[in-house]
Structure 1
Amino acid sequence: MQNFNLPRALRGAVRAEETPQQLFAQINGAIGDLRQRHDDNISDVREHVDNLTTAMNAMQGQIDGGIKPSGGSMIAVDADYTKTFASFIRKGDGEGKLSELQGAGDRAAIQAALSVGSDTNGGYLAPVEWDRQISKEQVSTSPMRKLAKVVTTSVGAFSTLWEIGNPASGWVGETAARPQTTTPQFASITFASGEIYANPAATQRILDDAAIDIGKWLVDALRVEFNRQENIAFLSGDGVNKPSGLLTYITGGANDGTHPGGNLTVVDEAIAVDALIDFMYGLGAPYRQNATWVMSSLTAAALTRLKDADGNLIWRESLIVGQPATLLGRPVEIDEGMPGPTAGNIAIAFGDFRAGYLVNDRYSSLRLLRDPFTNKPYVHFYATKRAGGGVLDPNAIRLLRIPV
Structure 2
Amino acid sequence: MSFVNLARKSLEARGRLFEEYKSVLDDTKITDADKRERLERLDAAIEAKTEEVRDFTAKAEAEAEARNLDGKLGKLFVPGTQEEGREAPGMDARSLLLAVANGEIREGLITPDMEMRAPGGNVQAAAGKVSDAAFAGNTTSVQFIAQVQEVMREHSPFLNLVSTFTTSHGETIRYPVKNAWMSPTTDVTILPEGEKYTFGKGGFTTKDLTVAKYGTGVQLSAELLTDSEVDIAAIAADDAGQALSDRITADMLAKLQVAVPVGKKVVMVGAAATTKVSYDNLIDVQHNLRTGYRRNAAWMFGDLQLAELRKIKDTAGNPIWNPSYQVGAPDTLLGKPYVTDATITAKATGAGGTINTDLIWYGDFSKFKLRQVKGITVSRSDEYAWDSDMVSWKLTWRGGGDLMDLESVAALRTAAA
Amino acid at match of 1:393: D
Amino acid at match of 1:334: T
Match of 2:158 in 1: 144
Please tell me whether residue 300 in structure 1 is matched to residue 300 in structure 2: no
**Shift of residue 315, structure 1, vs aligned partner:** 1.3
| Residues 303 and 315 in structure 1, CA contact (< 8 A), matched pair in contact too | yes
Q: How many angstroms apart in 1 are the aligned matches of 2:244 and 2:263?
A: 27
The count of residues paired between Structure 1 and Structure 2 equals 251
Q: How many angstroms apart in 2 are the aligned matches of 1:247 and 1:184?
A: 24
Higher relative contact order, chain-length normalized (CA < 8 Å, sep 6+):
2
Amino acid at match of 2:247: Q
Amino acid at match of 1:391: L
Match of 1:332 in 2: 338
**Shift of residue 209, structure 1, vs aligned partner:** 5.0
Among candidates 204, 212, 219, match of residue 194 of structure 1: 212
Q: How many angstroms apart in 1 are the aligned matches of 2:344 and 2:304?
A: 10
| Residues 344 and 402 in structure 1, CA contact (< 8 A), matched pair in contact too | yes
**Shift of residue 233, structure 1, vs aligned partner:** 2.0
Identity of aligned residues (%): 24
Instruction: Specify whether residues 173 and 144 from structure 1 end up closer, same or farther in structure 2 by C-alpha distance, changes over 3 A only.
Output: same
Provide the TM-score with structure 1 as the length reference: 0.54
Aligned-residue RMSD, C-alpha = 3.3
Among candidates 164, 167, 171, match of residue 153 of structure 1: 167
| Residues 316 and 326 in structure 1, CA contact (< 8 A), matched pair in contact too | yes
Q: How many angstroms apart in 2 are the aligned matches of 1:398 and 1:141?
A: 23
When structure 1 is superposed on structure 2, of 284-293 and 319-328 the one drifting more is 319-328
Among candidates 378, 386, 404, match of residue 398 of structure 2: 386
Amino acid at match of 2:370: V
Provide the TM-score with structure 2 as the length reference: 0.52
SS of the residue corresponding to residue 210 of structure 2 reads: strand
Among candidates 352, 362, 366, match of residue 354 of structure 1: 366
**Shift of residue 316, structure 1, vs aligned partner:** 0.8
Amino acid at match of 1:200: V
Instruction: Specify whether residues 133 and 369 from structure 1 end up closer, same or farther in structure 2 by C-alpha distance, changes over 3 A only.
Output: closer
Match of 1:365 in 2: 376
Match of 2:251 in 1: 233
Q: How many angstroms apart in 2 are the aligned matches of 1:335 and 1:302?
A: 15
Among candidates 244, 258, 263, match of residue 248 of structure 1: 258
- What aligned pairs does 1:80-91 form with structure 2 within 5 A after superposition? none
Instruction: Specify whether residues 234 and 264 from structure 1 end up closer, same or farther in structure 2 by C-alpha distance, changes over 3 A only.
Output: farther
Q: Residue by residue, what CA displacement relative to the aligned partner does 1:156-185 show, whole Å, maximum 9, x if unpaired?
A: 15442235664934222224x316634448
Q: Residue by residue, what CA displacement relative to the aligned partner does 1:268-325 show, whole Å, maximum 9, x if unpaired?
A: 0252112321221121111011111111122111111111222111111111344332
SS of the residue corresponding to residue 150 of structure 1 reads: strand
Instruction: Specify whether residues 207 and 181 from structure 1 end up closer, same or farther in structure 2 by C-alpha distance, changes over 3 A only.
Output: closer
Unaligned runs of 5+ in 2: 1-137, 143-150, 270-276, 349-354
Q: How many angstroms apart in 1 are the aligned matches of 2:279 and 2:339?
A: 19
Higher helix share: 2
Q: How many angstroms apart in 2 are the aligned matches of 1:313 and 1:210?
A: 49
| Residues 371 and 380 in structure 1, CA contact (< 8 A), matched pair in contact too | yes
SS of the residue corresponding to residue 265 of structure 2 reads: strand
**Shift of residue 392, structure 1, vs aligned partner:** 1.5
SS of the residue corresponding to residue 376 of structure 1 reads: helix
Amino acid at match of 2:156: S
| Residues 365 and 387 in structure 1, CA contact (< 8 A), matched pair in contact too | no
| Residues 144 and 234 in structure 1, CA contact (< 8 A), matched pair in contact too | no
SS of the residue corresponding to residue 211 of structure 2 reads: strand
**Shift of residue 331, structure 1, vs aligned partner:** 1.0
Match of 1:64 in 2: none
| Residues 358 and 389 in structure 1, CA contact (< 8 A), matched pair in contact too | yes
SS of the residue corresponding to residue 376 of structure 2 reads: coil
